[in-house]
Chain A
Amino acid sequence: MNRQPLRIGCAAGFSGDRTDAAGPVVDALVAAGGGVLIFETLAERTLALAQLARRDDPLGGYEPLLDDLLRPVLARCLSGGVRIVSNFGAANPPGAARRIAALARELGLRVPRIAVVSGDDLAGEAHRGLLLDALGRDAARLDIVAANAYLGAEAIADALRAGAEIVVCGRVADPSLTVGPALAHFGWAPDDWDRIAGATMAGHLLECGAQVSGGYYADPGYKDVPGLATLGYPIAEIDADGGCIITKPAGSGGRIDEHTVKEQLLYEVHDPFAYLTPDVVADIGQAQVRQLGPDRVRLDGVRGHARPAQLKVNVCHETGWLAEGEISYAGPRAEARARLAAEVLRERLHGLGPLRADLIGVSSVFADDAGRWAEDGDVARDARDVRLRVALQHPRRDQAERLAREVTALYTCGPAGGGGVRTALRRRLGIASCSVPRERVDAGFTFLSEGDDA
């Protein structure tokens, strides 16, 4: 078994994250003798949006910022022994792989060995019966855009063992981007649950990028973070027993301490004693977080239990259109004028379904969609700078568009002094989750063949 630690850096925590994050991470990995760079770019909805993009452009459907993410670091990764693992394949992993090969040629580099992980896409006819069994027969009415299983780390590990320098995935569980390289590096047994659980939580700490290294943490006077504009993205040094040290490139902004690590450790976790992934059920009940030095924090004591027999599947389906509109009121009686504008819109849009109205500057977030919030409620405060924001959802685009027209008409028909109308219309996607037996999902990988990068 390989006892040398494995360094894994993460340079994106979602599609739309900073695209200049990878450089310092790659430099740190190269200086340490190599490692793995991951980009996590697939939130729940991202894959469905990518599927819609692929309908418009059959060559698209992968991470739109793929070039921006890779162009600055591809040469350094290939020459410095840094392998790349990512779910930036989204709805079209082969398309992303071909684009990376073409990018390497454009940059005058040799074309790397690129592996494409497959098996997550369950939207085709072949899996229709499986999905309907899992979701219930009502699902036959859903207008399905994408259906993807959360694959685990095995195919990634297999691809790396076979010599892949870049592994392009669609939907895999986020921590599996880290577990795959750890399995390949350390040669752990597939049922070495404690070690796999350790790597899983290391991956969990990495998967949101800078959220563990001071991003999304600052609260001036209480939680001060230096250099938010130049945040260092995290690097995990995983040891052969599955423990890890979280750190970041020297000289970068941000901070890593016990508190930033604990916040991210619990992020999007439900039962901390049974965190379900395709690779393991992780348990952080006995886990410990200790500061070793500046921006160096150790996580150990993670326990693991046998992986679930089922894989989670997300089914994205079209649910209609989200319409939003805003208009500002300022000066004397601004709040009263904004409230009157909301009343006018309720009357004009009556019958279109629930209309949410927020008074930005008074209350816009804590209330639920029905407007309930004990502390604000309907108590007028005579705020003097208020932006009214309204929103509704409708299955039909033409009906949803009526909201934009009515907000715009406030220019001439609404209360005095309203200005700055902005409106937006977005397609809405719902997500239904279910589980399917692991053996019904055919996960694997193939290498992009030479010349297949036109």
Chain B
Amino acid sequence: MSDGNHIEVPLYRAAHARTGDKGDRANISLIAWHPQLWPLLVAQVDEDAVRRRFAHRRPGRIVRHLLPLLHAMNFVLDDVLDGGVNGSLNLDGHGKALSFLLLDLPLRVPRELVPLLAGPPLDPDESKNHTGDR
């Protein structure tokens, strides 16, 4: 929840993502919109957070690889694609949409970093502090 020092925003305000697949393994990249937003991702979007987010897909191993020079991280999720694109009954057997499931995670952002967030403000409370596009 938002408080005096932080506001809560969906992760897509702070980062972007793309899913790839190979067999029954998905990888989801997560890339900070700004270097100063990167530590928030490291602190809050960890393997446990991703496991909770994808619990209904019953993931096996989840590994997070950190790439500090790119201000990015890469999640590898095993067994979340119902056997993969050649075995799944899902319309999106590749799991292409899964990056947007991740991007809806709530993220706590210190108010001084709010101007670095991407996109239009969602919360009127935020707009008071919002001074730029990102």
**Residues on the A chain within 8 Å of B27, using CB:** 266, 268-270
- Evaluate contact between A366 and B72: CB separation under 8 angstroms: no
- Evaluate contact between B16 and A222: CB separation under 8 angstroms: yes
- Evaluate contact between A266 and B56: CB separation under 8 angstroms: no
A365-B92 contact given A267-B18, A319-B86, CB 8 Å threshold: yes
- Evaluate contact between B86 and A259: CB separation under 8 angstroms: no
- Evaluate contact between A369 and B89: CB separation under 8 angstroms: yes
- Evaluate contact between A365 and B90: CB separation under 8 angstroms: yes
What is the number of contacts between chain A and chain B, taking CB atoms within 8 Å?
Answer: 119
**Residues on the A chain within 8 Å of B76, using CB:** 270-271
- Evaluate contact between A368 and B86: CB separation under 8 angstroms: no
- Evaluate contact between A270 and B22: CB separation under 8 angstroms: yes
Closest 9 CB pairs of A and B: A268-B20, A266-B29, A356-B89, A372-B56, A391-B89, A222-B119, A369-B82, A263-B18, A365-B92
Q: Main SS of the interface on chain B?
A: mixed
Closest-by-CB residue of A relative to B99 is A263
- Evaluate contact between A365 and B97: CB separation under 8 angstroms: yes
**Residues on the B chain within 8 Å of A271, using CB:** 63, 65, 76
**Residues on the A chain within 8 Å of B98, using CB:** 366
Answer whether residue B46 sits at the interface, using C-beta atoms and an 8 A cutoff: no
A216 to B18: give the CA distance in the assembly, Å.
9
A248 to B65: give the CA distance in the assembly, Å.
30
Produce 1/0 per residue, B42-75, CB < 8 A to A: 0000000000000111100001010101101010
**Residues on the B chain within 8 Å of A430, using CB:** 86-87
Rounded to whole Å, the gap between the CB of A21 and the closest CB of chain B is 20
Q: Which of A4-48 contact B (CB under 8 A)?
A: 44-45
A420 to B65: give the CA distance in the assembly, Å.
46
A221-B120 contact given A262-B31, A369-B89, CB 8 Å threshold: yes
- Which of A228-236, A282-290, A434-442 binds B? A282-290
- Evaluate contact between B31 and A259: CB separation under 8 angstroms: yes
Closest-by-CB residue of A relative to B78 is A270
**Residues on the B chain within 8 Å of A222, using CB:** 12, 16, 118-119
Answer whether residue A392 sits at the interface, using C-beta atoms and an 8 A cutoff: yes
A-B contact pairs, 29 of them (CB 8 A): A44-B86, A45-B86, A219-B12, A223-B16, A223-B118, A263-B17, A265-B70, A266-B18, A266-B20, A266-B27, A268-B27, A269-B29, A270-B74, A271-B65, A272-B67, A273-B65, A285-B69, A287-B69, A354-B89, A356-B89, A364-B91, A367-B56, A368-B56, A369-B88, A369-B90, A372-B56, A372-B57, A428-B87, A429-B86
The number of residues on chain A lying at the interface, defined by a beta carbon within 8 Å of a beta carbon of chain B, is 50
- Evaluate contact between B72 and A262: CB separation under 8 angstroms: yes
- Evaluate contact between B25 and A266: CB separation under 8 angstroms: no
**Residues on the B chain within 8 Å of A380, using CB:** none
A319-B87 contact given A268-B22, A268-B27, CB 8 Å threshold: yes
Answer whether residue A431 sits at the interface, using C-beta atoms and an 8 A cutoff: yes
**Residues on the A chain within 8 Å of B126, using CB:** none
Produce 1/0 per residue, A363-384, CB < 8 A to B: 0111111001110000000000
Closest-by-CB residue of A relative to B21 is A268
